[in-house]
Amino acid sequence: MLDKDLAELYGVRTFVLNQAIKRNVERFPSDFMFFLTREEILRISQTVISSKNIKFSKNVNVFTENGIAMLSSVLNSQQAIQVNIQIMRTFTKLRALMEGNKALAEKLKELELKVGTHTEDIKLIFETIKQMLAVPEKPKRKMGFLA
C-alpha cells in the first residue's frame, strides 16, 4: 500500500507518517517498505485513482504486509491501532482464502491424474453397467389369427 493511502486510513497527514518512519528507519527493512522511482510514480499516477496528485510527489513509500504491521508500533493513535487491526485481519483472511484455493487445486490435480490413467477402465465399467441395465426385447406377438 502507498504511504498516502495508509496516512488517510490512519487519519494522519502523509508528512507525519513519513516523519515517523524516518525516526524509526531501522524498523522498516527493504522487505517491509521500499521507494518508488520517479518513473514508477509517473506510471502509477496514470492508473491509480485513489492517489490523486501522486505525480507531484518527490518520493513515495510503498509498504508490504509486514511494513503495515510495523506501522502500528510507530503510529500510536487510537485510529491507527484500530485500522491496523482491521488490515491484519484482512491479510489473514486473504491468506486463508489463497491456501483454500491451493488445496482445492491440488485435489483437482490428483483427481485428474487418477481419472487420466483409468479412463479406459471407467468407460468399460459404464458400458458394462449400461448393458446390464438394458432390458432384452422380447419378440412381439403377432396380432390377429394365426394360420
Mean pLDDT by 10 residues, the chain (147 residues): 86 89 92 87 63 67 87 81 81 80 72 65 66 65 68
Contacts made by residues 2-9, CB under 8 angstroms, sequence distance 24+:
2/48, 2/51, 2/54, 2/60, 2/61, 2/62, 2/63, 3/60, 3/61, 3/62, 3/63, 4/51, 4/54, 4/57, 4/60, 5/50, 5/51, 6/63, 6/68, 6/71, 9/83, 9/87
Q: State the pTM of this model.
A: 0.56
As to burial, measured by CB atoms within 10 angstroms (0-12 exposed, 13-18 middle, 19+ buried), residue 3 is buried
* Domain positions in the chain: 3-95
